[in-house]
């Protein structure tokens, strides 16, 4: 075999080995789904911790001293305005009413007697049988007795008012709180704790705070000349309960305090929600979720991100199909499972949207282009 033939064989063998090596290397480059970032309409949400209070939280306190004779409700019961709640055993007030009624009868008799004396003296004065002084004295006596009668009638009204305090009625529709005093307990107007609390929770107030910067951004982006006008133009807000359930009825932000707390730098706000089923009770905790609309937002799917020390990163694919991690600086979530980009990437950049857990910096990938709309619509 000639040298020329041997050389040709070696060339073919080397070429075959190289092609096999290149093919093997090509097979080791994994494919990844990639989308092209573009601007789009988005709604982002900000959540604020809130405490819940009912429309009314009325403490039921006794106005007189006595013993709890009867309790006509129970803890957690729903009551109507005017419904009987408690009866207090205080017999002295009933006796005061009886005494006042007796005093009125005495005063009426005194008035009648004084009137008879005036009627008796008047014709005698007209006939000059007695002096006018006698009639004047009789009239003064009558006026004194009439005043005593008025005083006795006022005493009866006061006694009846005090007696009415022995029965306590609900001042509003609502839900009964705890009952710290049981039947037989001695209570009075100076008792530390109320008999109970009636909470009207047909509507609820959610109190929450935002910091000074958030407050400025919040209101500068809202329409209206005055603070109240800006509040009325805000979109409806959502209440997220402690178990993650969303209250079916949306509410509105109605008030913002006029002062920023100098210790915390917080601005206190209040949102109002309808609560017809009484699902939410006073004292509950929740989140007030406020939406904000962005017309030209850059969104990345949540599954395309990973987090390091509180920062969000995505993998961007460069022109050589190598990946690079980029901090997108996002702290706001949009509707669905996506984040709004604050920095790091721009329109037209390519990012990997799935399977990023095993990627490394500068890794070479085989990009598989995916329609961005289909990715966002599936979220």
Question: Taking the model in full, what pTM does it have?
Answer: 0.64
Closest CA to 313 of 341, 335, 332: 341
CATH number, domain 91-165: 1.10.287.470
Nearest-angstrom CA–CA distance, 214 and 151: 64
- Rounded to 10 degrees, the C-alpha dihedral 367/368/374/379 comes to -60
- A 10 A CB-CB count for 166 gives 19
For residue 138, the model assigns a pLDDT of: 86
Instruction: Give kind and range of the element (H or E) at residue 21.
Output: helix 3-28
DSSP codes of every residue in 129-144? SS-HHHHHHHHHHHHH
DSSP codes of every residue in 86-124? EEEE-HHHHHHHHHHHHHHHHHHHHHHHHHHHHHHHHHH
CATH H-level, domain 47-54+197-291: superfamily: Efflux pump adaptor protein, beta barrel domain (2.40.30.170)
Residue 235 contacts residue 291 (beta carbons within 8 Å): yes
Rg (CA), the chain: 42
Nearest-angstrom CA–CA distance, 183 and 180: 10
* Per-residue model confidence as pLDDT tens digits over 257-313: 877 777 777 889 999 999 988 888 888 999 999 888 888 888 888 888 988 888 889
The answer to which of 85-94, 98-107, 250-259, 312-321 has the lowest mean pLDDT is 250-259
- A 10 A CB-CB count for 309 gives 4
* Per-residue model confidence as pLDDT tens digits over 222-243: 777 777 788 888 889 999 999 9
Mean pLDDT in residue range 83-106: 94
Residue 79 contacts residue 73 (beta carbons within 8 Å): yes
For residue 212, the model assigns a pLDDT of: 80
Residue appearing with tokens 């004194």:
144
- A 10 A CB-CB count for 187 gives 21
Nearest-angstrom CA–CA distance, 376 and 339: 11
Residue 107 contacts residue 113 (beta carbons within 8 Å): no
Per-residue DSSP letter, 246 = B
Q: Could you tell me the residue ranges of all domains in the chain? A: 29-44+295-377, 47-54+197-291, 64-84+171-193, 91-165
Mapped onto helix, strand or coil, the DSSP state of residue 150 is helix
Closest CA to 269 of 288, 245, 250, 292: 288
CATH number, domain 29-44+295-377: 2.40.420.20
Query: What value, to the nearest 5°, has the Cα angle with vertex 209 and ends 204 and 215?
Result: 120
* Per-residue model confidence as pLDDT tens digits over 334-370: 655 788 888 889 999 999 998 888 888 999 999 999 8
Mapped onto helix, strand or coil, the DSSP state of residue 192 is coil
Per-residue DSSP letter, 326 = E
Mean pLDDT in residue range 198-207: 92
CA distances from 151 to 143, 291, 342 (A): 12, 65, 79
- Asked if the domains 29-44+295-377 and 91-165 are classified in one and the same CATH topology, the answer is no
């Amino acid at each position: 075999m000639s040298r020329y033939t041997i050389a040709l064989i070696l060339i073919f063998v080397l070429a075959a080995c190289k092609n096999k090596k290149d093919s093997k290397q090509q097979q080791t480059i994994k494919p990844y789904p990639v989308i092209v970032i573009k601007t789009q309409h988005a709604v982002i949400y900000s959540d604020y911790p809130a405490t819940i209070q009912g429309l009314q939280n009325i403490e039921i306190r006794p106005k007189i001293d006595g013993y709890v004779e009867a309790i006509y409700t129970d803890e957690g019961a729903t009551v109507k305005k005017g419904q009987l709640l408690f009866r207090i055993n205080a017999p002295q007030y009933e006796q005061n009413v009886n005494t006042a009624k007796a005093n009125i009868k005495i005063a009426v008799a005194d008035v009648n007697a004084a009137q008879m004396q005036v009627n008796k003296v008047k014709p005698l004065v007209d006939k000059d049988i007695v002096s006018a002084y006698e009639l004047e004295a009789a009239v003064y006596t009558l006026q004194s007795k009439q005043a005593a009668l008025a005083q006795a009638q006022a005493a009866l009204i006061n006694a009846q008012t005090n007696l009415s305090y022995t029965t306590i009625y609900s001042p509003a529709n609502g839900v009964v709180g705890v009952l710290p005093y049981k039947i037989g307990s001695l209570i009075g107007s100076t008792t530390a704790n109320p008999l109970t609390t009636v909470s009207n929770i047909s509507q609820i107030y959610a109190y929450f705070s935002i910091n000074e910067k958030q407050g400025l951004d919040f209101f500068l982006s809202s329409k209206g000349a005055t603070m109240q006008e800006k509040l009325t133009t805000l979109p409806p807000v959502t209440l997220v309960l402690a178990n993650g359930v969303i209250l079916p009825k949306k509410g509105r932000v109605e008030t913002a305090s006029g002062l920023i707390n100098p210790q915390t730098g917080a601005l206190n706000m209040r949102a109002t929600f309808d609560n017809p089923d009484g699902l939410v009770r006073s004292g509950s905790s929740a989140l007030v979720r406020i939406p904000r609309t962005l017309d030209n937002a850059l969104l990345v799917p949540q599954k395309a991100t990973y987090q390091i020390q509180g920062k969000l990163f995505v993998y961007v694919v460069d022109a050589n199909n190598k990946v690079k991690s980029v901090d997108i600086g996002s702290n706001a979530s949009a509707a669905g499972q996506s984040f709004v980009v604050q920095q790091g990437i721009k329109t037209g950049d390519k990012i990997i949207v799935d399977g990023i857990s095993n990627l490394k910096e500068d890794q070479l990938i085989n990009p598989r282009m995916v329609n961005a709309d289909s990715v966002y619509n599936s979220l």
